[in-house]
Every structure is written in structure tokens, then in C-alpha cells.
Amino acid sequence: MSRLIVVSNRVAPVDETKPTSGGLAVAVLAALKRSGGIWFGWSGDVSEVPGEVVHKVRSGRLTYATFDLSTRDHEEYYNGFANSTLWPLFHYRLDLANFSRRNYAGYRRVNAYFARKLVDLIEPDDLIWVHDYHLFPMAEELRRAGVANRIGFFLHTPLPPLELLLALPEHQELMRSFFAYDLVGFQTEADRRSLLDYAIQEAGGEMAGDTVFRALGRTASAEVHPIGVDTDNIERAAASAAAARYGARMRTSLGGRRLIVGVDRLDYSKGLPERFAAFGHLLGAYPANRNRVSLMQIATPTRAGVPEYEEIRRALETLAGHINGEFADFDWVPIRYLNKSFARRTLFGLLRTAQVGLITPLRDGMNLVAMEYVASQPPTDPGVLVLSRFAGAAHSVPGAVIVNPYDAEGVAEAIQLSLDMPREERVERWQAGMEALRRNDVSRWREIFVSRLAEAPFA
């Protein structure tokens, strides 16, 4: 049986007792725990002179293989091109994208560094699965080093349309990197179409089947493989956490009021100011909710020191203060804004307590919190998921109330609809969502992608 090597920017063992990890880390760990193999990538440590040694830690069938980055590499590759250029561009925020040749050179340099570190760990029958926008050039660098193994890639973020991709000065080199993979996986059909539009219209390629395309002398397959969550484990953890001390504290603090919950990284792509504005409109347009409904927004800190993130944090604090100042009572605060992380088990208990899950990103590759909210709900009296149409999850979680996050009045109406929804309809919507989550959980996602990669004829 072929061994699986997963390559991601960051390797971070997930501990249920520690603060929530990102969706990619959670999904990758769940997949690898079942299959075994190697998880390879950056350790998260930065130093002026990083060591050349790859550190290996064995945990059951899984080996963590990590290395450090230099301060310069971290600044140019991670903070620079990956998160100041690709992240805003891929989330349709061209106005926030910083185009720098120096950062792009650092991005290519670090991808070549990743490849050099990985080559010595690869065995002839290994399947290599590269993840996310930090590592587009990995397959190209591995091919240059003589690696003939099957190499797959999965993009967790959106891939914007051709017109936006062309704004990237290095788009030809970057997009050519896709063509060195045997299989490229996307969250949605729109993302896959963006790659094919580039390959055919810009690179002069052609389709050679339903998923196979040829461009620049290379052949690859582009497929949709939407990611899932560990549905059964979330369901059990949520029920346990809701019955524990923390869940009891939460219910006591609400004093019989209803709860709307949002959980996001603190990022401009998540639509948090728009969400606060919609909740404020709910309290103004539907005054019966005053002193009866609270919004708890958990915004996990991210990318400290980046000006755009400091700005959105200040904006949220200002908005929460304004709404609370206008509507609060001596025993009720409309918005509970928490700029901190929670252990995953605790988070699932909070999700289970909420009558409405409010997940309204302006653009998101998938959004696993939307799935976690559904999986956390009590079967006999579930809450309602209010979900942005611009999240990939809108295509994967039936039963959600779909909204346009830019329409504050429309989101407020959807929240009110959800609060008023009869139990019978809530149960029907929840059952539809859970059926989809169980059918396409994280294990299924891994199994399908890896099996498709193993069958790829191009290596």
C-alpha cells in the first residue's frame, strides 16, 4: 500500500484541549490519523539562522516532519507573497493586494527550500498531497529534482476568475505551477472553472476529457472535491461539552435568552463588520428581540502586526460598542465580542447552545465552522444555520438559510425567520444537512482524493 505524504505550509498537531486550529490543520490531521504517513512542513518557528535539520516526531502511524524558517523567508514568503498578495487576491480584495517582486522571489525560494527538504523523505511508491496557496510551485520544484511520484494539490481557498488572476504580475509562472500536478482539487465548480479558463483562454490549452486538460506541454486533471468535517466526533463532543460545566455556565449567563453565534478567524474576508451591522438592524427593525437575543461573536486573533487586521479589530470593537451603547440594558449586552480562541470541545458546546449559527463571510473557500455548527446541534431541537452564499459550504450543506452578506436588511430578515422557524422545519433542515455531512465527511474526502490521485495516469 502506498504511503501518503501531506505537505502544508504549517504542521501543527491538533489537541482538542487547546485553542481551535485552522480548518486545514484539523482536516489534514483527521485524514492522516486514519491513513498514516508523513505530515511535512514548516514548524512555525522563525530564527535568524534556522537549522538545516528536519525534525521528526512519531505519533502512532503518523510522522510529523518539520523545519524552521529564517526571519527573511518568513517575511517574504509567508507575510509577504502568500498573505499580502495571494490571500487578498484570492478573496477578491484586489484593493488590499501588495504586489512585490521581492516577495515573489522569496515565495519561490522557500518553495524550492521545501522541495529540497522533502526529497530525501520520499520513497518510490509514495503519494504526495500538497495543500493550499502557500505551495503552488511545490510540484514544479519536485519535478526539477527528479521526483516522478504522483503529486496532487488541494486548494482550500477560492480561486478567483481569470480577470482577477491576470492582475497578478507573475500570473504566468504561478499558474503554470498548477500544470505540474497530476490532480488538482477544488472546493467548488466555480474554482475549478477559474483554472480551466486560465489554462484554455490564457495558456492556449485544451480539454482532453471531462476533467483532464492539456496546457504548456503538460497534462493534469482538475476536479471538485469539497472538504468535510469529522461529523460523528463533533456530534459526540458537542453533546458532552454542552452537558459539562462550561455549557451550564453559558446557559446560566444567557438567563433564558436566545443565542446567535458566529465563529471566525479575525479576517477581512469573514464579513464581520457587515455581520454586526445586520445584527444591529435586527434589533432596530424587530424590537421584540431586545433583551431576548444575544450575538456571541468569537473572532480568533490572526496575523498579529499586519495593519489590515489591526484595522478590522478596531472597527469591530467600535461597532460592538456602538450597538451595545444603543440597545443594551442593565442586565443584557446585545453583542458579546470575544477576541480569543477556545478549545475545540468547548467551542462545539457553545455551537450546540446557539439557536442560530451566523456564518456570513464575504468570500470563503468552504468554511468548516458552518458544518461544525450543524453537526453540533441537538437532533430533537436543532438551531438554524444562516450562511453566506459566497462560502463554499453553501454548495455542500443543504438546509441552511442562504443570504447575501452585503445586504444587512436581508441578513436581519433571515435571522428573524430562523428565530421564528417552527421546530418541525428546523428538524427537516438539520436532517438534510446532517445527511450531507455524514455522506461527505473528512474521511470520505481523503479517501476519494487519494484514490483519484493513485489512479492518475500522468506521473
d(CA 86, CA 426): 39
d(CA 289, CA 282): 8
Half-sphere exposure of 165 (CA within 13 A, CB side): 22
Residue 208 has phi, psi (to 5 degrees) of -125, 25
Secondary structure of residue 186 in the 3-state scheme: strand
Question: For residues 55 and 66, is the Cβ–Cβ distance under 8 A?
Answer: yes
Question: For residues 393 and 374, is the Cβ–Cβ distance under 8 A?
Answer: no
Exposed, middle or buried, 10 (CB in 10 Å: 0-12/13-18/19+)? Answer: middle
Q: Which grid coordinates belong to 187?
A: 472546493
Cα 284 from chain centre: 33
Cell 525534525, residue located: 55
- Among 91, 156, 225, 281, the active-site one is 156
Angle at 123 between CA 122 and CA 126, to 5 degrees: 85
CA distances from 448 to 78, 228, 230, 451 (A): 30, 12, 15, 5
Known catalytic membership, residue 364: yes
Q: At what angle do helices 23-35 and 442-455 cross, to 10 degrees?
A: 70
Question: For residues 20 and 368, is the Cβ–Cβ distance under 8 A?
Answer: no
In DSSP terms, 130 is beta-bridged to 7, 153
Known catalytic membership, residue 225: no
Q: Which grid coordinates belong to 109?
A: 525560494
Question: For residues 299 and 266, is the Cβ–Cβ distance under 8 A?
Answer: yes
- Among 68, 191, 267, 364, the active-site one is 364
Secondary structure of residue 318 in the 3-state scheme: helix
Q: Which grid coordinates belong to 227?
A: 472538504
Q: Which grid coordinates belong to 422?
A: 417552527
Question: For residues 385 and 254, is the Cβ–Cβ distance under 8 A?
Answer: no
- Amino acid letter at 243? A
DSSP state of 270: G
Instruction: Please list the active-site residues.
Output: 156, 364
